[in-house]
Chain A
Amino acid sequence: MWIELGHFSAILALVLAVIQTGTAFVGGTLDRPVWVRVSRQAALVGSGFLTLAMLGLQISFLTHDFSVQYVAGHASLDLPFFYLATALWGGHEGSLLLWGWLLSVFGTIAVFSYWRSQSASIPWVLVVFGCLVISFLCLVLFLSSPFDRLIPPPMDGRDLNPLLQDPGMVFHPPFLYMGYVGFAVPYAFAISALIRGRLDDQWIRATRRWSLFAWAMLTVGIVFGANWAYYELGWGGYWAWDPVENASFMPWLTATAFLHSVMVQERSGQFRIWNLMLIITTFALSLLGTFLVRSGVLSSVHAFANDPGRGVYILGFMSVLLLVSFGLLTLRGDALKSENRLDGVVSREVAFLFNNLFFMVAMLTVLLGTLYPLAVETFSNAKVTVGAPYYNKVFLPIMFGILLLMGIGAVIPWRRASAQRMIKLFRLPLIIGFLALPLSWYWGVDHPYGIGALFLILFVITSHGGEIIRSVRARVRKDRLSPLTAFVRLISRNRRRYGGFVVHAGLLVMVAGFIGSGLFQEEQNLVMKPGETVRIGAWTLTLDKIHTVARENWEATEAVMHAQGRGEILTLRPQKRVYNEHSMPTTEASIHTTIREDLYVILGDAVGDGWHIRVFRNPLVVWVWIGALIMGLGVLIAFFEKRIVVARKTVREAS
């Protein structure tokens, strides 16, 4: 049967991972290329077997094999095909298998693509990946197996949780995991560099694309999650500082710090230990993210009530990983002494240093809020939660600090910036920034944070735009090109730099969305009878009728409403759904999106002869999603940088 084939393949993959680790270790320590070659083949065949394991489970889903416990728990006969095909990662057993599979496949791809160019690192990369795959497969096979049988099989499965029957949830886990697992590649190369004592920036340059890829996937994964929460959870927002959201946000913060600080090392050889620490922390937080979500220790939507044996295993795994990684770092500490040069207190290096400080504080803020309740529960009898106000209070100032540094750091010269240069660079951005005052008056923005954000957005746009204009002008003068050609050449020859500019622009768009939806949300909470109206913002909503609708696996009470405003008439249909296999109803918000605002309506319970209706006006929410797309585009541009950045030698000679 398919599931046994899958199970058996997974066991073989575990055996192969052990062989991979052993042979690579021998090959690496004794310098025997043949052993390394054997290890590489083991990695390749291992990924093949894990792919078979995934297929075995996938086919069991597609054939409705309810004698497989995992399938019975996460699918049913009338689950639509699309969700049937993606239910594999609807629970923790399957998600962990997906993680392990990605890990194995990424490891193999990395080993094959760097086989020649990084041949000295390869044995240790194989060892690191081997160990990680072993750890994951042990967890999958012995503590949370998706391959277990359920005898006798039920007639029908328990169905996929209705909340997960949504496109957002289908794409959220794989993207997030590609992000998490993607960081394993730079992590493995960093560990390899530590073991070999090759402590220059070779590991950073080699894995630059993997870091970018992982960061982009993580960004997209997080935004998919937020998007899903917005459409599916029906509370009017997209980010609740839920521990599980935090778990994915922490590695994002350190990874962002990493992407910036590696530039300093590439440029001047500083921040060596720091960059190693950042990548180790990022990968460790990726694991923590997976485990927090999948171990059931957290109280949240994602937390599955389950067996705590996993928790212990995971805690052990994390401890070993951190001990080994930081142990190596300490051992090599002496050799890692940075080329310690400080040319000027006002320089891009220093701006990046502060950028890193802000990102680290942000990460620690989230870490504290996420783990403190767990610590309290573990060591005392009390139970505690940390509310969203904590994060909002801390994060707005941090975000403002980061935006200010973004405007400065992207254009300020390396090494040293004279006062004259600073004035020349930032006079105009500051002046334009202060246009925030009349503009906010004009738009009716009276919240200080709103005005502050507007100031920073204008400041950053002008500083980045000014830089582009100056560079284009220089090219026009020097090479006698038309401005357009000069612009295209400028971008295409510095894809990393200007890709970064585009990512920054995407973030600005997102920030506008955060501020608009966070500070200026309006809400109406009321009981309506058919024919009654409610006003919110420029809109007048009328409840037309309440009726029942049904689809293949659910039935819903639906309110039909129409909204009038801004010269438009639209129909909104919020629902309360009950899925056949589940007793619990789910709320389906009805959302009308415009560039200016979202109209978001939720249907509640019957109250007397009326119905409970909740209406939100969420300004600028769509900017959050658009901003994420722009960020993705920026990464894509940066990804195709051909030239591997400035040669450090020339810089050193110049100094």
Chain B
Amino acid sequence: MSTTRKRLTLWGSLLLVGTALGLLVFSSFNDALVYFYTPTEVIAQSTELTDSRIRIGGMVQEGSLRREEGTLRIHFEVTDGESRLPVFYEGMTPDLFREGQGVVVEGAWKPGTVFTADTILAKHSEDYIPVEMSEEGIAKSRESILNSLQ
């Protein structure tokens, strides 16, 4: 083989493998994005969100937490102060999950049914707050990064 041919073979195969890997990355990426909404936003965009995987964040409404007797099935409402959204979950709840505490629930959105969460995240401790739990924290960090870019 001439050097040019060799080089062509080499770069061609690199490009081919690289492209294949790139396609793999991007095709998996779009499916795996989970957007975060407040109950009010979910209710407003209910139809657009049909069947997409979302996270809903807010507080567990005081007095809304109910367990089906003797099972792992629980019902509660997530509130952002404006709207409430009923949620159903079956399984182990995080250590800090309780009424009046911050919570993020994740699942597929089906309009017209109770939101069935397959994952619950609670505020992790008094020392660290998952950032998305504190609206304030988000606003601040966004501002600071934007400021630094201007």
Which listed residue, B25, B34, B129, touches A385 by the CB 8 Å rule? B34
Contact at B95–A576, with CB atoms within 8 Å? yes
Which listed residue, A383, A394, A525, A608, touches B91 by the CB 8 Å rule? A525
Of all chain B residues, which has the CB nearest A381?
B142
For residues 11 through 31 of chain B, which have their beta carbon under 8 Å from a beta carbon of chain A?
A: 13-14, 17-18, 21-22, 24-25, 28-29, 31
Q: How far is the CB of A200 from chain B (nearest CB, A)?
A: 24
Query: In the assembly, what is the distance between CA of A584 and CA of B24, in Å?
Result: 41
Contact at B148–A316, with CB atoms within 8 Å? yes
For the complex, count residues of B whose C-beta is within 8 A of A. Answer: 56
Query: In the assembly, what is the distance between CA of A378 and CA of B141, in Å?
Result: 8
Query: In the assembly, what is the distance between CA of A308 and CA of B146, in Å?
Result: 11
Complex contacts, A604 vs chain B, CB 8 Å:
92-93
Q: Is B127 interfacial (CB-CB < 8 Å)? A: yes
Which listed residue, B10, B72, B124, touches A612 by the CB 8 Å rule? B72
Of B77-85, B108-116, B132-140, the one contacting chain A is B132-140
Q: How far is the CB of A555 from chain B (nearest CB, A)?
A: 14
Contact at A369–B29, with CB atoms within 8 Å? yes
Which listed residue, B17, B69, B127, B138, touches A383 by the CB 8 Å rule? B138
Q: Is A451 interfacial (CB-CB < 8 Å)? A: no
Given A358-B21, A583-B126: A305 touches B92 (CB 8 Å cut-off):
no
Complex contacts, B128 vs chain A, CB 8 Å:
161, 301-305
Q: Is B44 interfacial (CB-CB < 8 Å)? A: no
Contact at B3–A386, with CB atoms within 8 Å? no
Q: Is A469 interfacial (CB-CB < 8 Å)? A: no
Given A377-B138, A387-B32: A394 touches B10 (CB 8 Å cut-off):
no
Of A4-12, A342-350, A434-442, A645-653, the one contacting chain B is A342-350
Interface string of A287-325 (1 = CB under 8 A from B): 000000000111111111100110110011000000000
Of all chain A residues, which has the CB nearest B140?
A308
Interface string of A15-41 (1 = CB under 8 A from B): 000000000000000000000000000
Q: How far is the CB of A173 from chain B (nearest CB, A)?
A: 15
Query: In the assembly, what is the distance between CA of A394 and CA of B133, in Å?
Result: 29
Complex contacts, B7 vs chain A, CB 8 Å:
342
Output the residue of B3, B18, B131, B147 with the most chain A CB within 10 A.
B131
Contact at B131–A586, with CB atoms within 8 Å? no
Contact at A345–B125, with CB atoms within 8 Å? no
For residues 249 through 265 of chain A, which have their beta carbon under 8 Å from a beta carbon of chain B?
A: none
Complex contacts, B71 vs chain A, CB 8 Å:
527, 607
Which listed residue, B28, B70, B93, B95, touches A608 by the CB 8 Å rule? B70
Q: Is B86 interfacial (CB-CB < 8 Å)? A: no
Given A312-B147, A607-B72: A383 touches B10 (CB 8 Å cut-off):
no
Given A361-B22, A390-B28, A394-B28: A385 touches B72 (CB 8 Å cut-off):
no
Q: How far is the CB of A104 from chain B (nearest CB, A)?
A: 27
Contact at A398–B21, with CB atoms within 8 Å? yes
Q: Is A614 interfacial (CB-CB < 8 Å)? A: yes
Q: Is A526 interfacial (CB-CB < 8 Å)? A: yes
Contact at A311–B144, with CB atoms within 8 Å? yes
Query: In the assembly, what is the distance between CA of A345 and CA of B1, in Å?
Result: 10
Q: How far is the CB of A384 from chain B (nearest CB, A)?
A: 5
Complex contacts, A353 vs chain B, CB 8 Å:
10, 14
Contact at A525–B92, with CB atoms within 8 Å? yes
Of all chain A residues, which has the CB nearest B144?
A308
Complex contacts, A358 vs chain B, CB 8 Å:
21
Query: In the assembly, what is the distance between CA of A389 and CA of B125, in Å?
Result: 26
Which listed residue, B21, B34, B93, B148, touches A361 by the CB 8 Å rule? B21
Complex contacts, B132 vs chain A, CB 8 Å:
299, 383
Q: Is A139 interfacial (CB-CB < 8 Å)? A: no
Complex contacts, B21 vs chain A, CB 8 Å:
357-358, 361, 397-398, 401
Contact at A305–B134, with CB atoms within 8 Å? yes
For residues 221 through 276 of chain A, which have their beta carbon under 8 Å from a beta carbon of chain B?
A: none
Query: In the assembly, what is the distance between CA of A357 and CA of B126, in Å?
Result: 43
Interface string of A151-179 (1 = CB under 8 A from B): 00000001001110000000000000000
Contact at A315–B14, with CB atoms within 8 Å? no
Complex contacts, A342 vs chain B, CB 8 Å:
3, 6-7, 10
Complex contacts, B126 vs chain A, CB 8 Å:
582-584
Query: In the assembly, what is the distance between CA of A382 and CA of B14, in Å?
Result: 36
Given A576-B95, A607-B70: A397 touches B24 (CB 8 Å cut-off):
yes
Query: In the assembly, what is the distance between CA of A345 and CA of B132, in Å?
Result: 50
Of all chain B residues, which has the CB nearest A163?
B125
Q: Is A364 interfacial (CB-CB < 8 Å)? A: yes
Output the residue of B3, B9, B128 with the most chain A CB within 10 A.
B128
Contact at B29–A390, with CB atoms within 8 Å? yes
For residues 481 through 530 of chain A, which have their beta carbon under 8 Å from a beta carbon of chain B?
A: 525-527
For residues 366 through 424 of chain A, which have their beta carbon under 8 Å from a beta carbon of chain B?
A: 368-369, 372, 374, 377-378, 382-387, 389-390, 393-394, 397-398, 401
Which listed residue, B9, B22, B67, touches A345 by the CB 8 Å rule? B9
Contact at B17–A354, with CB atoms within 8 Å? yes
Of all chain B residues, which has the CB nearest A297?
B141
Given A304-B127, A357-B18, A390-B31: A385 touches B93 (CB 8 Å cut-off):
no
Q: Is A365 interfacial (CB-CB < 8 Å)? A: yes
Contact at B6–A584, with CB atoms within 8 Å? no
Given A296-B131, A525-B92, A584-B126: A311 touches B148 (CB 8 Å cut-off):
yes
Complex contacts, A583 vs chain B, CB 8 Å:
126
List 17 contacting pairs A-B, 8 Å CB cutoff, sorted by A.
Answer: A161-B128, A303-B131, A309-B144, A311-B144, A311-B145, A361-B22, A377-B138, A382-B35, A382-B36, A383-B36, A384-B34, A389-B32, A397-B21, A526-B72, A576-B95, A607-B72, A612-B72
Residues of chain B having any CB pair with chain A under 8 Å: 1, 3, 6-7, 9-10, 13-14, 17-18, 21-22, 24-25, 28-29, 31-36, 53, 55, 67, 69-72, 91-93, 95-96, 124-134, 137-138, 140-148
Known interface pairs A365-B25, A384-B34, A585-B95; 7 further A-B residue pairs with C-beta atoms within 8 A, sorted by A's residue number? A345-B13, A369-B29, A382-B36, A384-B35, A385-B36, A389-B28, A586-B95
Query: Closest 7 A-B residue pairs measured CB to CB?
Result: A390-B32, A308-B144, A383-B36, A299-B131, A312-B148, A393-B28, A608-B70
Residues of chain A having any CB pair with chain B under 8 Å: 158, 161-163, 296-305, 308-309, 311-312, 315-316, 342, 344-345, 350, 353-354, 357-358, 361, 364-365, 368-369, 372, 374, 377-378, 382-387, 389-390, 393-394, 397-398, 401, 525-527, 576, 582-587, 602, 604-605, 607-608, 610, 612, 614
